[in-house]
């Protein structure tokens, strides 16, 4: 009897500083180049502004700030990963967009203790890929600025 094939998940991947991150493609609405953002006075420091996306107002959250990473270089405009969460649609500012990749679920592990706490708090786990770790972003938690 043949063994069942390993279950596979698809992730939209992106980079933030030196981190290789991904969100389940089922939660990604679209990816795009950065746009002008309307400022939000007195907002959380990770909120970079509001984006009008075809009539829908979307909060733009800088993942560098959310992950407590150094600021993005001025000459490097961010990209946007627009994701659907239970509460709303949010746009995460990232450094670079990767590919959609298929990953076997049996490569998934809890976040290692060696990852900085600010990063570990926002990921659900990692997939060990041949040349690097894919950090699976908890989009709900990353979008919840009250935490």
Per-residue pLDDT of the chain (147 residues; tens, 9 = 90+): 445 556 999 999 999 999 999 999 999 999 999 889 999 999 999 999 999 999 999 999 999 999 999 999 989 999 999 999 997 899 999 999 999 999 999 999 999 888 888 888 999 999 999 999 999 999 999 999 865
Q: Kindly list the structural domains of the chain, giving each domain's residue range(s) and its CATH number in brackets, ordered by start.
A: 9-143 (2.40.50.180)
Closest CA to 30 of 96, 89, 103: 89
Looking at residue 146, what is its pLDDT?
Answer: 65
Question: How far out from the chain centre does Cα 48 lie?
Answer: 15
Please indicate, yes or no, whether the overall pTM of this predicted structure exceeds 0.85.
yes
């Amino acid at each position: 009897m043949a063994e069942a094939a390993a279950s596979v998940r698809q992730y939209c991947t992106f980079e933030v500083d030196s981190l290789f991150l991904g969100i389940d493609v089922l939660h990604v609405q679209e990816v795009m180049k950065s746009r002008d953002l309307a400022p939000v006075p007195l907002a959380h420091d990770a909120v970079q502004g509001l984006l009008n996306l075809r009539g829908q107002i979307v909060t733009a959250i800088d993942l560098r700030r959310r992950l407590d990473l150094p600021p993005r270089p001025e000459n490097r405009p961010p990209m946007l990963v627009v994701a659907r969460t239970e509460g709303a649609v949010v746009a995460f500012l990232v450094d670079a967009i990767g590919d959609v990749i298929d990953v076997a679920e049996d490569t998934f592990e809890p976040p290692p203790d060696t990852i900085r706490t600010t990063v570990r708090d926002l990921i659900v786990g990692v997939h060990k890929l041949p040349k690097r770790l894919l950090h699976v972003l908890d989009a709900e938690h990353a979008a919840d600025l009250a935490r």
